[in-house]
Copies of this chain bind each other. A is one copy, B any other.
Amino acid sequence: MSKPVLNIGLIGYQFMGKAHSNAYRQANRFFDLPADIRMHTICGRNEGAVKKAAETFGWDNYETDWRKVIANPEIDVIDISTPGNLHAEIAIAAAKAGKAVWCEKPIGNTLAEAKAMMDAVLEAKVAHAVFHNYRKAPAVALAKKMIMEGKLGTIYHFRAVYLQDWIADPNFPLVWRLQKEVAGSGTHGDINAHIIDLGRHLVGEFDEVCGLLHTFIKQRPLAGEIDANLGAKASTQMGDVTVDDAAMFLAKFKNGALGTFEATRFAVGRKNKNSFEINGSKGSVVFNLEKMNELEYYNNDDPGDLQGFRLIQATDGSHPYAGHYWPAGHIIGYEHTFVNLVADAVTNMVEGKPISPDMVDGYENQRVLDAVERSHDSRTWVKL
């Protein structure tokens, strides 16, 4: 008996488009899902580029008008992987058309957009998901499982950084991610959003925050031609950087834990250090995306002279997701967090269960982002 087929329409074909395409291609190869994924249509404004993306990534069709993708009755899921300024309009239209909405983060460029999007999918009762993919790294999922089982006890501290350096060079050009009208914010929405999601997922809801956003380099060469990933060629004209280069804040969680968060694109030498440490009364865990197959764990119940941080390789069949791939010690990579997320989303959608993380998570995340921005403006603590 054959499985139902889930037809995907993907809007966006650059970095995230590539990662999502790979996830749709691979999920059925490693997971025994309740549906077969069909890579139906990929959509982008530049016909030549999107045609090439369709061929390269393996989509059956391509399209330049996202409205036509939504209008296509064959398509079940609209995946939104565009720059942030297009999210809200597409998501709301897709929801109204009864399509499932799976969206990149942050879901909107403003809190109002995010709320409208969340309201739209809730009202339409469509399946919805947000691509906070790092929840799906086996080591992070293991940390979540341990916390749920009480292995860390009462949580005292969440200490997270997301450190990159790809714009530390003042001559790096003014790409779309550095323009507020397109990207919404800089590090804050791009990478702080990820560690905020991990904080919400692993520790709980925020109570209040106090922080700052900062731009070190205020003018940059205008970008020339854009390439498929993050790169762009510089020109000689200068333009204003209208987003933050770094964003950091202190937080109190509702359960009494304290948090520190720092995101920057100026940590020279740090390529993608999305790292957190959680200290609880019974133990601690440490994660670093650059070594994403590993979770450090300190068990306070170990005998006194044998205590130490363990380096767990979360690659064993006993670890979340890992058993679907390779034998213990054979690592997976960044792209697999998307495969895992898609596998979960397909399963839950078909089975009529809520997807985690979903657009409510997207909205709640954005409430924290927004509170930090207001704290920056008011120079004081802001309650969630």
Contact with B along A205-239 (1 / 0, CB 8 A): 00000111010100000000000011000000000
Query: A157-B266, A272-B328 known; 18 other A-B pairs, CB under 8 Å?
Result: A15-B327, A19-B326, A156-B267, A212-B252, A250-B250, A260-B262, A267-B279, A268-B281, A268-B283, A268-B300, A290-B313, A304-B318, A305-B312, A310-B310, A310-B311, A331-B334, A379-B380, A379-B381
Task: Answer whether A269 and B298 are a contact pair too, CB < 8 Å, given A29-B58, A248-B250.
Answer: yes
In the complex the two chains form, is A229's CB within 8 Å of B279's CB?
no
Task: Please give the residue numbers on chain A whose beta carbons come within 8 Å of chain B beta carbons, in ascending order.
Answer: 15, 19, 21-22, 25-26, 28-29, 56-58, 142, 146, 156-157, 159, 161, 163-166, 168, 210-212, 214, 216, 229-230, 246, 248-250, 252, 256, 258, 260, 262, 264, 266-273, 277, 279-284, 289-293, 295-300, 302, 304-313, 315-316, 318-319, 325-336, 379-381
Give, as a whole number of angstroms, the nearest-CB distance from A372 to chain B: 11
Give, as a whole number of angstroms, the nearest-CB distance from A191 to chain B: 11
Task: Answer whether A29 and B57 are a contact pair too, CB < 8 Å, given A267-B279, A299-B306.
Answer: yes
Q: Nearest residue in B to A336 (C-beta to C-beta)?
A: B333
Q: Nearest residue in B to A259 (C-beta to C-beta)?
A: B248
Copies of this chain, count: 4
Give, as a whole number of angstroms, the nearest-CB distance from A264 to chain B: 6
